Structure 1
Amino acid sequence: MKIALLGTNFAQAHAAVYAQRGDVEVVMFGRDADKTVKTADRFGFASSTNTDEAFDGDYDLVDICLPVELHAPYVLRALEAGKHALVELPLADSVDDARRVAEAAEAGDRQVFVDMFERFIPANRTLLDAVRDGTYGRLEQLTLWNLTAHLWPGFSLGLEVLPIEAMHSDMDLITSALGKPNALDITTVARDEHSAAIDATLTFDGAFARDSVSSLMPKAWGARGGYTASFTHGVLDASSTMGFDGKPTGTVTAYTEDGARELDLPPADQYTDMLDHVLACLRGESENTIAPHTVLDALQLTLDIHHRVNG
């Protein structure tokens, strides 16, 4: 399978997975010739600065890891060129553009995938399976948290950035578990333009959810997150840590009347699993679970928070 990988920054997360596979041929596209060659060489890929070639050439999949405002236009361009498309989240910077992509994908015979990589995290799958199967009864309260230090030099994590960069995946988990909320309340604090925290409370019929994100942590903290899900007959508590050494840990514990039990989670890397899913779909071996229409509710919530926080 021949893949055009657009971008040289976050695209490296995808490149690292492709580089381990023997069934794909990847060309990396970027604007800066020197950077593109250097990055592509690191993964053993060919490179190009001619973006038009990604759409005009004989590629099966266009993988779009570019600034958000380019996501929807480039997906539509890929579809028009008869290519499948994988796009980094969020799908678009407006719900109208996202709907246009979803409609175009459903109308044609090419597949579009949105990199909702957190859907492939075992702890998140455990929660959604419990909701679907009623393992612990009905979900009544869901609290998510994501607290991080500034681990990426030069990258802002202020109020302008946090909703889309840190809350979108949480909104996806919330809407997948509970649906669309009846009300949304937001509280914020900003240390400066690059460091801030946001707390969002969402109410549903018979349930509520809360999502707290923060970039106010010291570097030694690293990045940590998790959730607590309270059901009528039990609780799931998940935590994950990416320490300063970059070595992640993760656990999910179930609490019921019978006591506490740490669940066995399969080893997984969300980017590997996401790309495995994309390629399996393109081979006709799986149904697309990250299609554009599946992200619209979460994107609407994310953009609602963004607009309310930033005006």
Structure 2
Amino acid sequence: MKIALLGTGFGQAHAAVYAARDDVEVVMFGRDPDKTAKTAAQFGVPASTDLEAAFTDPSFDLVDICLPIPLHAPMTLRALEAGKHVLTELPMAASAEDARRIVAASQESDRHVFVDMFAGFLPANRILHDAVREGTYGQLKELAYWSAMAPLWPGASLGLKSLPMESMHSDLDCITRALGTPTAVHVTAAERDADAAAIDATFTFDQAIARSSISSLRPMPYGARGGYTAAFTDAVLESASTMGYDGKPATTLTEYTADGSRDIPLPTADQYTAMIDHVLAVLHGHADNEITPASALDALELTLQVDQQVNAAR
């Protein structure tokens, strides 16, 4: 499997996963020759600034898009037109219209398109979604996701303009996969400055409620933390995670019932490794695609609605 990895920023998270495998060949593409060469060398892969080759070189099987959000949709559509499989970072598009174009193009193509909805591969989230689907604890009535972080990533803004699309989107995907599309959305927000803020969004469903809260108003020693509480008719699941610069969370999951509480053992899992493992398994014919553009559309439309409420006045 030969992969054209576009982007030297967040592309590093994907490159680290590919570097640990012996069944892929990767070329990292970037605009700046020196930066691209230096970053690619960290992972032992070739570097290129000839972006056109990612689409025209017939030896590339998969185009992995880790570029700024406005480029996700045009690059995805271009890769499909070139006959490539595509993995795009979230969100798959900056607008619902572009997202629907990707859905339509992927459904008309014989190529696979994957959207990096990585949160669904975290073991605690998989257990939640299995419980909803199988009715393990009865009906899900309340679901609350939260995350809070320090400015761990140099140069990355965590203000109101970026938080919905870049940080809340994955939690909203978990909410829509569990409960569907809400009938009402209410959002409040506060900011310290252009790069630090907090958002609280509440959602109404038929016989259920949900909430997504995110904050970047934390000092460096705080790191990054998050989790969820899921209240079913017969039990509660509560997850808590902590992580630092490596993006690899240490997570606990506890089940509460009328008979008491118990910790649910979780396998050690890196979400990006699990996501890319899934992508390659699908491409080798060993699994069905769980992160198609169609499966991510509800979450994107909800994220855009939250973003509109937060940033319309701005």
- Indicate conservation of the 8 Å contact 2:153/2:245, yes or no: no
Instruction: Give per-residue Cα distances to partners, 1:285-306, cap 9 Å, x unaligned.
Output: 1100001000000000101111
Deviation, structure 1 residue 245: 8.6
- Indicate conservation of the 8 Å contact 2:248/2:270, yes or no: no
Instruction: Give per-residue Cα distances to partners, 1:263-286, cap 9 Å, x unaligned.
Output: 011221111111011011111111
Residue equivalent to 1:197 = 198
Residue equivalent to 2:2 = 2
Instruction: Give per-residue Cα distances to partners, 1:211-243, cap 9 Å, x unaligned.
Output: 110000111111000000000000000000014
TM-score normalised over the length of structure 2: 0.97
Q: In structure 1, what residue type is equivalent to 2:20?
A: Q
TM-score normalised over the length of structure 1: 0.98
CA distance in 1, matches of 2:219, 2:101: 41
- Indicate conservation of the 8 Å contact 1:113/1:290, yes or no: yes
- Indicate conservation of the 8 Å contact 1:159/1:190, yes or no: yes
Deviation, structure 1 residue 246: 6.9
SS of the residue corresponding to residue 34 of structure 1 reads: helix
Q: In structure 1, what residue type is equivalent to 2:305?
A: D
SS of the residue corresponding to residue 172 of structure 1 reads: helix
* Shift in alpha-carbon separation, 1:290–1:187, aligned structure 2, 3 A: same
Residue equivalent to 2:46 = 46
- Indicate conservation of the 8 Å contact 2:148/2:226, yes or no: yes
SS of the residue corresponding to residue 130 of structure 1 reads: helix
Residue equivalent to 2:153 = 152
Residue equivalent to 1:109 = 110
Asked if 1:128 corresponds to 2:129, the answer is yes
* Shift in alpha-carbon separation, 1:245–1:77, aligned structure 2, 3 A: closer
Instruction: Give per-residue Cα distances to partners, 1:129-153, cap 9 Å, x unaligned.
Output: 1111111110001111001111112
CA distance in 2, matches of 1:73, 1:245: 30
CA distance in 2, matches of 1:302, 1:198: 12
- In structure 2, the gaps of 5 or more residues are none
Residue equivalent to 1:299 = 300
SS of the residue corresponding to residue 21 of structure 1 reads: coil
CA distance in 2, matches of 1:205, 1:168: 22
* Shift in alpha-carbon separation, 1:243–1:8, aligned structure 2, 3 A: closer
The within-5 A match list for 1:21-32 is: 21-32=21-32
The within-5 A match list for 1:1-311 is: 1-57=1-57, 58-243=59-244, 248-311=249-312
Q: What is the aligned-residue RMSD (CA, Å)?
A: 1.1
CA distance in 2, matches of 1:226, 1:133: 22
Deviation, structure 1 residue 244: 6.9
- In structure 1, the gaps of 5 or more residues are none
- Indicate conservation of the 8 Å contact 1:220/1:244, yes or no: no
* Shift in alpha-carbon separation, 1:26–1:243, aligned structure 2, 3 A: closer
Instruction: Give per-residue Cα distances to partners, 1:146-200, cap 9 Å, x unaligned.
Output: 0111111222111101101111011101100100001000111111111110000
* Shift in alpha-carbon separation, 1:244–1:98, aligned structure 2, 3 A: closer
Q: In structure 2, what residue type is equivalent to 1:294?
A: S
CA distance in 2, matches of 1:41, 1:147: 33
SS of the residue corresponding to residue 163 of structure 1 reads: helix
CA distance in 2, matches of 1:132, 1:285: 23
- Indicate conservation of the 8 Å contact 1:241/1:250, yes or no: yes
- Indicate conservation of the 8 Å contact 2:83/2:111, yes or no: yes
SS of the residue corresponding to residue 254 of structure 1 reads: strand
Deviation, structure 1 residue 248: 3.3
CA distance in 2, matches of 1:248, 1:46: 30
Give the percent of matched residue pairs that are identical in Structure 1 and Structure 2: 63
CA distance in 2, matches of 1:150, 1:29: 27
CA distance in 1, matches of 2:51, 2:294: 27
